[in-house]
Amino acid sequence: MATQSFAGVTNALDDTALEQLTKHLARTAEHYDRAGEFPQAAFDILARQGLVGLTVSRDLGGQGAGYVDTLRVLGAVAKGDPSAALILFMTYAFHAGEAKGGRWPAAVHKKLALEALAGRGLIGTFRVEPELGTPVRGGLPKTTARQTADGWRIVGEKIYSTGSTGLDWFAVWARTNEAEPRVGLFLIDSSSPGITIVPEWDHLGMRATVSHRVVFDDTLAPTSAAVDVRRPEEWVLPTGQANGPVLWNALAIAAIYDGVARAARDWLAGYLNDRAPANLGAPLATLPRVQEKFGEIEALLQVNRTLIFSAAQAADRGELPSADSANVVKHVITTNAIQAVAIGLELTGNPGISRNHPLERHYRDVLCSRIHSPQADTILIGAGRAGLSR
């Protein structure tokens, strides 16, 4: 696994390497945001650093990184280019989950693991549909998988398909056309015939995630594509301890948007130290009121860091929280991240919302934390029910 790309760095996971990684990714983040394109330059860097396969298990030649190291990397990537981090997270979660769960066929898992170790094999899970919305809120997908002598024929469409134009593999949430439908994931090569990507993603922020509509028109996938298909009731999570996917989702989303807030904080610190209005005769950073508001940002981010890594360290010890607790951590951290960047806008006024400065982009990006499942209402209702039932 390659670990040396940045000058003088021999360990891709040490603090210096991660700081350099952030700086390299930040150089192109604005370009990809404005263009609304897949952040290829970011993934070229990640591949050279040997970071695409970070969570591939050791028995397959990877590092088998746990929660702490993976979240450190995701945070550093997000601080430079959060769209790249969100796309990368899906590949990380897949290999981390499979290393622990092992529901996918071993041959398929190994193939994807070796691709990731070579800097390729990006995989994304496509679950959301125009009519159903997110399956987190219940219901069977309209996308259908029909088994034939040649394999599976996939018909349907997915929206908010993160990474669409740059992924190597699509894990598509679909139902079988059997008398008693099963539901689950079908692994499809992104270069397969019968796939159309409709370029409609033009959102407030995270624009380089290229989360376009993907249409499957009788797309043929091999029989082995049914990598994790179960009866609907088997997908219902029992109450209690969070499983791997739930915890990875909660902590990764938290770390990514905390990274956005930290990028905003660093830019703001430079701006406040450099900006010296003529009527003041000193930098804005010398004003007690500015120092107080910046202190609020520091407090919010310190809480975030403590929550993320205390949960990650516990998980690496095998101490998984409840699903409700994991999602509350996500909710609190993303709420703090939004507030931290909003305070920056209060302190900067017009310059903060000018596209001449990155704070405007950071604010657009951090607001997108609200749309990730499970959303605030689901999280808080779950936490409230759990608390009231004691």
- In Å, what is the CA distance from 59 to each residue of 26, 63, 92, 363? 34, 9, 16, 41
The per-residue pLDDT for 3 is 40
Question: Contacts for 113-116 with beta carbons within 8 Å, 24 or more apart?
Answer: 113/53, 113/56, 113/57, 113/60, 113/61, 113/62, 114/60, 114/61, 115/168, 116/52, 116/53, 116/56, 116/62, 116/91
What is the pLDDT, as a whole number, of residue 99? 45
| 319 Cα distance to chain centroid | 23
Among 49, 50, 40, CA closest to 5: 49
pLDDT at 372: 95
Place of tokens 């508001």: 293
- pLDDT over threshold 50, residue 264: yes
pTM of the entire structure?
A: 0.93
- pLDDT at 98 exceeding the cut of 70: no
Cα gap 134→158, rounded to integer Å: 10
Beta bridge partners of 161: 212
Q: How far apart are alpha carbons 287 and 296 in whole angstroms?
A: 15
Closest CA to 161 of 84, 82, 215, 229: 215
pLDDT at residue 389 above 70? yes
Mind listing the pLDDT tens digit for each residue in 131-183?
877 776 677 899 999 999 999 999 999 999 999 999 999 999 999 999 999 99
Q: How far is CA 9 from CA 12, 21, 61, 78, in A?
A: 7, 11, 22, 20
Going along the chain from its start, the domains and CATH numbers come out as: 15-121 (1.10.540.10), 126-231 (2.40.110.10), 244-388 (1.20.140.10)
155-167 confidence digits (pLDDT tens) = 999 999 999 999 9
pLDDT at 104: 87
Q: Are 270 and 324 in contact (CB under 8 A)?
A: no
Most confident of 6-10, 84-88, 316-320: 84-88
* CB hemisphere CA count around 220 (13 angstroms): 6
CB contact set of 340 (below 8 Å; sequence gap of 6+): 261, 264, 265, 296, 297, 300, 301
**What are the angstrom distances between the C-alpha of 224 and each of 47, 151, 169?**
27, 8, 14
Confidence of residue 6 (pLDDT cuts 50, 70, 90): low
* Dist. CA 246–CA 254, nearest whole Å: 12
User: Is pLDDT above 90 for 9?
Assistant: no
Q: What's the rounded Cα separation, in Å, for the pair 92 and 123?
A: 9
Model confidence pLDDT, tens digit, residues 343-386: 999 999 999 999 999 999 999 999 999 999 999 999 999 999 98
Q: Which of the residue ranges 147-156, 185-194, 229-238 would you say has the lowest mean pLDDT?
A: 229-238
What is the crossing angle of helices 323-348 and 358-367, to 10°?
150
Are 80 and 45 in contact by the 8 Å Cβ rule? The answer is: no
